[in-house]
Protein backbone atom coordinates (compact mmCIF):
# COMPACT_ATOMS: atom_id res chain seq x y z
CA UNK A 1 0.00 0.00 0.00
CA UNK A 2 1.32 3.39 -0.92
CA UNK A 3 0.43 6.18 1.49
CA UNK A 4 1.90 9.58 2.21
CA UNK A 5 2.21 10.71 5.83
CA UNK A 6 0.48 13.96 6.69
CA UNK A 7 3.10 14.49 9.41
CA UNK A 8 6.63 13.20 9.92
CA UNK A 9 8.94 14.05 12.82
CA UNK A 10 12.16 13.11 14.54
CA UNK A 11 11.38 13.47 18.24
CA UNK A 12 14.36 13.77 20.60
CA UNK A 13 14.32 12.06 23.98
CA UNK A 14 16.05 13.51 27.03
CA UNK A 15 18.78 10.86 27.01
CA UNK A 16 20.38 10.79 23.58
CA UNK A 17 17.88 9.06 21.29
CA UNK A 18 15.79 10.44 18.44
CA UNK A 19 12.55 8.68 17.50
CA UNK A 20 11.22 8.60 13.95
CA UNK A 21 7.44 9.18 13.99
CA UNK A 22 5.03 9.33 11.03
CA UNK A 23 1.27 9.90 10.92
CA UNK A 24 -1.11 8.72 8.21
CA UNK A 25 -4.80 9.03 7.43
CA UNK A 26 -7.07 11.76 8.80
CA UNK A 27 -5.68 14.18 11.42
CA UNK A 28 -9.04 14.56 13.20
CA UNK A 29 -10.04 10.88 13.11
CA UNK A 30 -9.80 8.37 15.98
CA UNK A 31 -6.13 7.46 16.40
CA UNK A 32 -4.26 4.17 16.52
CA UNK A 33 -0.60 3.45 17.21
CA UNK A 34 1.23 0.37 15.93
CA UNK A 35 4.01 -1.13 18.07
CA UNK A 36 6.46 -3.04 15.89
CA UNK A 37 8.17 -6.29 16.69
CA UNK A 38 11.74 -7.38 17.18
CA UNK A 39 12.94 -5.85 19.38
CA UNK A 40 14.74 -3.79 16.78
CA UNK A 41 12.83 -4.66 13.62
CA UNK A 42 11.44 -1.18 12.91
CA UNK A 43 8.02 -0.31 11.56
CA UNK A 44 6.81 -1.25 8.08
CA UNK A 45 4.40 0.86 5.97
CA UNK A 46 2.63 -2.37 4.98
CA UNK A 47 0.85 -2.31 8.37
CA UNK A 48 -1.24 0.56 7.05
CA UNK A 49 -3.20 -2.04 5.07
CA UNK A 50 -4.96 -3.01 8.30
CA UNK A 51 -6.61 0.42 8.53
CA UNK A 52 -9.12 2.52 6.65
CA UNK A 53 -7.10 5.70 6.22
CA UNK A 54 -10.19 7.60 5.11
CA UNK A 55 -11.62 7.19 8.63
CA UNK A 56 -8.61 6.63 10.87
CA UNK A 57 -5.44 8.31 12.04
CA UNK A 58 -2.47 5.94 12.30
CA UNK A 59 0.77 6.63 14.14
CA UNK A 60 3.85 4.61 13.20
CA UNK A 61 7.19 4.99 14.93
CA UNK A 62 10.52 3.24 15.22
CA UNK A 63 11.51 2.26 18.74
CA UNK A 64 14.88 3.30 20.17
CA UNK A 65 17.74 2.14 17.97
CA UNK A 66 15.42 0.62 15.34
CA UNK A 67 14.51 1.59 11.79
CA UNK A 68 15.05 5.30 11.17
CA UNK A 69 15.44 6.17 14.84
CA UNK A 70 18.92 7.23 15.88
CA UNK A 71 21.52 6.17 16.92
CA UNK A 72 20.78 2.96 15.04
CA UNK A 73 21.38 -0.21 17.07
CA UNK A 74 22.19 1.75 20.23
CA UNK A 75 21.66 -0.22 23.45
CA UNK A 76 22.60 2.54 25.91
CA UNK A 77 19.50 4.03 27.54
CA UNK A 78 17.45 1.35 25.83
CA UNK A 79 15.13 -0.84 27.91
CA UNK A 80 11.45 -1.64 28.23
CA UNK A 81 10.72 1.08 30.77
CA UNK A 82 12.11 3.73 28.45
CA UNK A 83 10.15 2.36 25.48
CA UNK A 84 6.91 2.61 27.45
CA UNK A 85 7.77 6.20 28.40
CA UNK A 86 8.46 6.93 24.71
CA UNK A 87 5.00 5.73 23.69
CA UNK A 88 3.38 8.05 26.21
CA UNK A 89 5.66 10.91 25.18
CA UNK A 90 4.61 10.47 21.55
CA UNK A 91 0.92 10.45 22.51
CA UNK A 92 1.33 13.68 24.46
CA UNK A 93 3.40 15.38 21.77
CA UNK A 94 0.79 14.55 19.12
CA UNK A 95 -2.08 15.77 21.29
CA UNK A 96 -3.95 12.46 21.29
CA UNK A 97 -6.28 11.87 24.27
CA UNK A 98 -6.86 8.12 23.78
CA UNK A 99 -5.91 5.69 21.06
CA UNK A 100 -6.16 2.13 19.84
CA UNK A 101 -2.94 0.20 20.51
CA UNK A 102 -1.97 -2.53 18.03
CA UNK A 103 1.04 -4.65 18.93
CA UNK A 104 2.44 -7.84 17.42
CA UNK A 105 5.03 -10.26 18.81
CA UNK A 106 7.45 -8.06 20.76
CA UNK A 107 5.03 -5.20 20.05
CA UNK A 108 2.37 -7.15 21.99
CA UNK A 109 4.80 -7.41 24.92
CA UNK A 110 5.28 -3.68 24.81
CA UNK A 111 1.53 -3.08 24.50
CA UNK A 112 0.93 -5.00 27.73
CA UNK A 113 3.67 -3.07 29.52
CA UNK A 114 2.12 0.18 28.30
CA UNK A 115 -1.32 -0.94 29.48
CA UNK A 116 0.02 -1.64 32.95
CA UNK A 117 0.83 2.06 33.35
CA UNK A 118 -1.49 3.88 30.95
CA UNK A 119 -4.62 1.76 30.48
CA UNK A 120 -6.79 4.87 30.73
CA UNK A 121 -5.16 6.12 27.52
CA UNK A 122 -6.06 2.98 25.56
CA UNK A 123 -9.38 3.03 23.72
CA UNK A 124 -8.98 -0.50 22.33
CA UNK A 125 -6.24 -3.13 22.03
CA UNK A 126 -5.19 -5.64 19.38
CA UNK A 127 -2.56 -8.22 20.35
CA UNK A 128 -1.10 -10.37 17.56
CA UNK A 129 1.22 -13.37 18.00
CA UNK A 130 1.88 -12.36 21.59
CA UNK A 131 5.33 -12.82 23.11
CA UNK A 132 5.50 -13.13 26.91
CA UNK A 133 9.27 -12.68 27.29
CA UNK A 134 9.71 -15.99 29.11
CA UNK A 135 12.66 -18.33 29.34
CA UNK A 136 10.26 -21.02 28.13
CA UNK A 137 9.77 -19.20 24.80
CA UNK A 138 13.46 -18.44 24.32
CA UNK A 139 14.43 -22.06 24.94
CA UNK A 140 11.76 -23.12 22.46
CA UNK A 141 12.93 -20.82 19.68
CA UNK A 142 16.69 -21.24 20.01
CA UNK A 143 16.93 -24.84 21.23
CA UNK A 144 13.78 -27.01 20.97
CA UNK A 145 12.67 -25.67 17.57
CA UNK A 146 15.67 -27.53 16.21
CA UNK A 147 13.32 -30.52 15.90
CA UNK A 148 11.19 -28.61 13.37
CA UNK A 149 13.99 -27.03 11.31
CA UNK A 150 16.95 -29.38 11.86
CA UNK A 151 19.04 -28.44 8.84
CA UNK A 152 18.66 -24.70 9.44
CA UNK A 153 19.58 -25.15 13.11
CA UNK A 154 22.68 -27.15 12.16
CA UNK A 155 23.67 -24.44 9.68
CA UNK A 156 23.24 -21.74 12.33
CA UNK A 157 25.50 -23.58 14.79
CA UNK A 158 28.00 -24.86 12.21
CA UNK A 159 31.54 -24.93 13.60
CA UNK A 160 30.51 -24.29 17.21
CA UNK A 161 31.61 -26.26 20.25
CA UNK A 162 28.98 -28.45 21.91
CA UNK A 163 28.75 -26.04 24.85
CA UNK A 164 27.95 -23.18 22.46
CA UNK A 165 25.24 -25.27 20.76
CA UNK A 166 23.59 -25.79 24.13
CA UNK A 167 23.39 -22.01 24.63
CA UNK A 168 22.56 -20.61 21.21
CA UNK A 169 21.18 -17.25 22.35
CA UNK A 170 24.10 -16.64 24.70
CA UNK A 171 26.59 -17.53 21.96
CA UNK A 172 24.99 -15.25 19.37
CA UNK A 173 24.52 -12.47 21.93
CA UNK A 174 28.16 -12.56 23.01
CA UNK A 175 29.29 -12.12 19.41
CA UNK A 176 26.80 -9.33 18.70
CA UNK A 177 27.34 -7.35 21.89
CA UNK A 178 30.99 -7.96 22.71
CA UNK A 179 32.61 -9.44 19.61
CA UNK A 180 34.54 -7.92 16.75
CA UNK A 181 32.81 -6.40 13.75
CA UNK A 182 33.39 -9.64 11.85
CA UNK A 183 31.96 -11.75 14.70
CA UNK A 184 28.88 -9.53 14.94
CA UNK A 185 28.34 -9.79 11.20
CA UNK A 186 28.66 -13.58 11.35
CA UNK A 187 26.19 -13.86 14.25
CA UNK A 188 23.62 -11.63 12.55
CA UNK A 189 23.93 -13.63 9.32
CA UNK A 190 23.42 -16.94 11.15
CA UNK A 191 20.48 -15.63 13.19
CA UNK A 192 18.80 -14.10 10.16
CA UNK A 193 19.10 -17.26 8.05
CA UNK A 194 17.68 -19.39 10.87
CA UNK A 195 14.78 -16.99 11.37
CA UNK A 196 14.02 -17.06 7.65
CA UNK A 197 13.99 -20.87 7.68
CA UNK A 198 11.48 -20.84 10.55
CA UNK A 199 9.28 -18.45 8.57
CA UNK A 200 9.47 -20.81 5.57
CA UNK A 201 8.45 -23.75 7.75
CA UNK A 202 5.37 -21.86 8.95
CA UNK A 203 4.32 -21.15 5.38
CA UNK A 204 4.48 -24.85 4.53
CA UNK A 205 7.79 -24.74 2.70
CA UNK A 206 10.69 -27.06 3.38
CA UNK A 207 12.95 -25.20 5.79
CA UNK A 208 16.32 -25.77 4.19
CA UNK A 209 19.48 -23.72 4.80
CA UNK A 210 19.60 -20.77 2.46
CA UNK A 211 22.51 -19.01 0.84
CA UNK A 212 22.49 -15.72 2.70
CA UNK A 213 24.55 -12.67 1.89
CA UNK A 214 26.51 -11.14 4.72
CA UNK A 215 24.44 -9.09 7.13
CA UNK A 216 24.22 -5.36 6.51
CA UNK A 217 24.93 -2.77 9.19
CA UNK A 218 21.18 -2.31 9.64
CA UNK A 219 20.65 -6.05 10.13
CA UNK A 220 23.51 -6.23 12.62
CA UNK A 221 21.92 -3.36 14.55
CA UNK A 222 18.57 -5.14 14.59
CA UNK A 223 19.97 -8.36 16.02
CA UNK A 224 22.22 -6.48 18.41
CA UNK A 225 19.09 -4.90 19.90
CA UNK A 226 17.34 -8.27 20.04
CA UNK A 227 20.28 -9.83 21.82
CA UNK A 228 20.39 -6.93 24.30
CA UNK A 229 16.72 -7.36 25.17
CA UNK A 230 16.48 -11.15 25.11
CA UNK A 231 19.59 -11.67 27.22
CA UNK A 232 18.08 -9.31 29.79
CA UNK A 233 14.69 -11.07 29.82
CA UNK A 234 13.31 -8.00 28.02
CA UNK A 235 13.67 -6.10 31.31
CA UNK A 236 10.43 -7.62 32.60
CA UNK A 237 8.95 -10.92 33.78
CA UNK A 238 6.26 -13.14 32.33
CA UNK A 239 4.33 -12.79 35.59
CA UNK A 240 4.37 -9.00 35.23
CA UNK A 241 3.09 -9.22 31.66
CA UNK A 242 0.28 -11.57 32.64
CA UNK A 243 -0.53 -9.27 35.54
CA UNK A 244 -0.63 -6.32 33.14
CA UNK A 245 -3.50 -8.02 31.33
CA UNK A 246 -5.68 -7.16 34.33
CA UNK A 247 -5.34 -3.50 33.37
CA UNK A 248 -7.38 -4.28 30.23
CA UNK A 249 -10.47 -5.31 32.20
CA UNK A 250 -12.50 -2.45 30.72
CA UNK A 251 -10.74 -2.21 27.35
CA UNK A 252 -12.20 -3.73 24.16
CA UNK A 253 -9.57 -6.27 23.11
CA UNK A 254 -8.97 -8.75 20.30
CA UNK A 255 -6.26 -11.39 20.53
CA UNK A 256 -5.09 -12.70 17.15
CA UNK A 257 -2.90 -15.79 16.99
CA UNK A 258 -1.97 -18.23 14.23
CA UNK A 259 -2.50 -21.92 14.95
CA UNK A 260 0.82 -22.65 13.20
CA UNK A 261 2.87 -19.94 14.93
CA UNK A 262 6.30 -21.49 15.56
CA UNK A 263 7.84 -18.32 17.00
CA UNK A 264 5.42 -17.41 19.79
CA UNK A 265 3.57 -20.52 21.01
CA UNK A 266 -0.24 -20.44 20.65
CA UNK A 267 -0.53 -21.24 24.36
CA UNK A 268 0.38 -17.58 24.95
CA UNK A 269 -2.95 -16.53 23.47
CA UNK A 270 -4.82 -18.97 25.71
CA UNK A 271 -3.09 -17.64 28.82
CA UNK A 272 -3.91 -14.05 27.92
CA UNK A 273 -7.51 -14.88 27.04
CA UNK A 274 -8.06 -16.39 30.50
CA UNK A 275 -6.90 -13.13 32.07
CA UNK A 276 -8.93 -10.93 29.72
CA UNK A 277 -12.19 -12.90 29.63
CA UNK A 278 -14.08 -10.27 27.64
CA UNK A 279 -11.45 -10.31 24.88
CA UNK A 280 -12.26 -11.99 21.59
CA UNK A 281 -9.71 -14.69 20.84
CA UNK A 282 -9.37 -14.95 17.07
CA UNK A 283 -7.59 -18.13 16.09
CA UNK A 284 -6.23 -18.09 12.55
CA UNK A 285 -6.25 -21.68 11.20
CA UNK A 286 -2.95 -22.45 9.46
CA UNK A 287 -1.80 -18.92 10.30
CA UNK A 288 1.86 -18.33 11.08
CA UNK A 289 3.61 -15.57 12.98
CA UNK A 290 4.41 -12.80 10.54
CA UNK A 291 1.76 -10.21 9.64
CA UNK A 292 2.93 -10.68 6.04
CA UNK A 293 0.96 -13.95 6.20
CA UNK A 294 -2.25 -13.10 4.28
CA UNK A 295 -4.35 -15.02 6.82
CA UNK A 296 -2.92 -13.05 9.73
CA UNK A 297 -3.23 -9.75 7.85
CA UNK A 298 -6.92 -10.44 7.13
CA UNK A 299 -7.54 -11.17 10.82
CA UNK A 300 -5.84 -7.92 11.80
CA UNK A 301 -7.95 -5.92 9.36
CA UNK A 302 -11.07 -7.52 10.83
CA UNK A 303 -9.96 -6.77 14.40
CA UNK A 304 -9.16 -3.12 13.65
CA UNK A 305 -12.50 -2.65 11.91
CA UNK A 306 -14.35 -4.30 14.80
CA UNK A 307 -12.77 -1.96 17.36
CA UNK A 308 -13.00 1.24 15.33
CA UNK A 309 -15.70 3.67 16.60
CA UNK A 310 -18.88 3.50 14.52
CA UNK A 311 -19.38 7.28 14.70
- Given a contact cutoff of 8 angstroms between Cβ atoms, the answer to whether 111 and 133 are in contact is no
- The mean pLDDT value for 13-19 works out to 97
- The mean pLDDT value for 286-305 works out to 94
Cα–Cα dist 238/233, whole Å: 9
Q: What is the pLDDT confidence band of residue 211, given thresholds at 50, 70 and 90?
A: low
Cα–Cα dist 220/192, whole Å: 9
Task: Enumerate the active-site residues.
Answer: 105, 261, 289
User: How confident is the model at residue 208, as a pLDDT?
Assistant: 56
Cα–Cα dist 22/20, whole Å: 7
pLDDT at 99 over 70: yes
Please, what is the average pLDDT of the chain?
94
Cα–Cα dist 311/304, whole Å: 15
The answer to whether the predicted template modeling score (pTM) of the entire model surpasses 0.85 is yes
Cα torsion 25, 73, 131, 214: sign: positive
Domains and CATH numbers, the chain: 7-133+237-307 (3.40.50.1820), 135-233 (no CATH)
Helices (H), the chain: 80-93, 106-118, 135-142, 150-156, 162-165, 168-178, 181-202, 217-230, 238-244, 267-275, 294-307
Cα–Cα dist 156/111, whole Å: 31
- Given a contact cutoff of 8 angstroms between Cβ atoms, the answer to whether 96 and 274 are in contact is no
Cα–Cα dist 184/161, whole Å: 18
Nearest to 273 by CA among 245, 251, 252, 293: 245
User: How confident is the model at residue 203, as a pLDDT?
Assistant: 80
SS3 label, residue 34: strand
- The mean pLDDT value for 175-186 works out to 96
pLDDT at 132 over 80: yes
User: How confident is the model at residue 215, as a pLDDT?
Assistant: 81
SS3 label, residue 40: coil
Q: What is the pLDDT confidence band of residue 105, given thresholds at 50, 70 and 90?
A: very high
User: How confident is the model at residue 206, as a pLDDT?
Assistant: 58
Amino acid sequence: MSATPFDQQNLPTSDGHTLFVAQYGQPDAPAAVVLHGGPGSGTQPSVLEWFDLTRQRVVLFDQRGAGKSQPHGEIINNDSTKLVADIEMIRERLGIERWMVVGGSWGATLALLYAAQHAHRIRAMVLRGSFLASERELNWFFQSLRAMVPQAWEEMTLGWQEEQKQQVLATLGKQLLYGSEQEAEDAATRWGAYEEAVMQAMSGKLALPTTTSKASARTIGKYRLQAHYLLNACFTREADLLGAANALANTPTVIVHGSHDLVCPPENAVRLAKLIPHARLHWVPRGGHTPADPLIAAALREAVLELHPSS
